[in-house]
Amino acid sequence: MSVLIDTSTRLLVQGITGRDGSFHAKQMLAYGTKVVAGVTPGKGGQRFEGAVPVFNTVAEAVHETQANTSVIYVPAALAASAIFEAADSGIGLIVCITEGIPVLDMTRVLPFVHERGARLIGPNCPGLISPGKSKVGIIPGNICQPGKIGVVSRSGTLTYEIIHQLSTNGLGQSTCVGIGGDPLIGTNFIHCLTAFEADPGTAAIVMIGEIGGTDEQQAAEFVKESVKKPVVGFIAGQTAPPGRRMGHAGAIISGSSGTAAEKMTALANAGISVMKRPADVVPLLRERL
């Protein structure tokens, strides 16, 4: 089993003819994801890789192909509009890879997505993968293995590092979700923890957080109250100085709030096994499984 995406995922790629969109659409096809449509305004009628029909609008693509999930690779200036369009066209799961969307745009996008009953993952995220079933986004498929560990993370390459540690030690994954490094995101830790807790195919959960905000602290409270499965956690940014954005727009210690130490304490108090370094993930999981 898995969460959010599986073999019933029918994927639409917004920005399929662009540099990033076309590269990753090929990778997703090669992984076995059912890529049923692409959208690039003005390129309707073409076929991507001779197989995937391209449409001018998301509404048309959904009508013709019954796509139920969309992944967005369009440039930052167009990305908010792409999310509005996907939500307005009945897409249930929208995954926005694009980095650099202004946060004020997101204050308008998020209530709209919510009202349309859609779920947004990201923006500024690597997407998600249910190994052996479906990949939506940019997580390299070759580092993943099917299995029973659920992974949820605010990061990209740090997630790959953790997945790599898991796979090379025989711990496969049910689903890996990158929720994104921006301050305003569509799906948070609690949403993913809820899904993993309910998923019979997930035996344990790895959550990878970082400095900035209070999402990890709220997630820790939630784990204490509502998660029975073992949870192992990591927080990046123990050496980050306050007041500086550490690459991700959301990774910033404001005043004395949002530090790694504060988050690690919150995780530990909730009964989560806290890693000191990425290589601790395997031994800590083995202790709890």
Q: List residues binding other proteins (CB under 8 A).
A: 20, 76-77, 100-104, 106-108, 110-111, 126, 138-140, 143, 153-161, 164, 181, 183-184, 208, 210-211, 213-215, 234, 236-241, 244-251, 255-256, 260, 276-279
Cross-strand partners of 234? 208
Judged by beta carbon, residue 47 or residue 108, the one nearer other proteins is 108
- Closest approach, Cβ 41 to other proteins, in A, equals 19
Quote the CA–CA distance of 96 and 87 in Å, as a whole number. 12
Query: How many C-beta atoms surround the C-beta of residue 219 within 10 A?
Result: 27
Nearest approach, Cβ of residue 234 and other proteins (Å):
8
| Residue 38 burial by Cβ neighbours in a 10 Å radius (0-12, 13-18, 19+) | buried
- Tell me the C-alpha distance between 91 and 196, whole Å: 22
Which listed residue (63, 164, 191, 248) is catalytic?
248
Centroid of chain to Cα 248: 14
How far, CA to CA in Å, does 41 sit from each of 76, 78, 234, 263?
16, 12, 41, 44
β partners of residue 71: 13, 95
Element (H, E) at 232: strand 231-236
- CB closer to other proteins out of 16 and 203: 16
- Nearer to other proteins by C-beta: 231 or 264? 264
Residue 26 corresponds to which amino acid?
Answer: K
Name the nearest CA neighbour of 143 among 3, 269, 262, 27. 27
CB of 243 to other proteins, least distance (A): 8
Q: Distance (Å, rounded) from C-alpha 236 to C-alpha 216?
A: 12
- Nearest approach, Cβ of 265 to other proteins (angstroms)? 16
- Supply the minimum distance, in Å, between the C-beta of residue 15 and other proteins: 15
User: Is 248 annotated as catalytic?
Assistant: yes
Q: Supply the minimum distance, in Å, between the C-beta of residue 134 and other proteins.
A: 18
Q: What residues have CB less than 8 Å from 24, skipping those under 6 apart?
A: 13, 71, 73, 97, 137, 138
| CA-closest candidate to residue 152, choices 191, 98, 199 | 191
Indicate the residue among 123 and 230 with the shorter CB distance to other proteins.
Answer: 123
**Residue 65 or residue 165: which is nearer to other proteins going by CB?**
165
Nearer to other proteins, 19 or 286 (CB): 19
- Residues known to be catalytic: 248
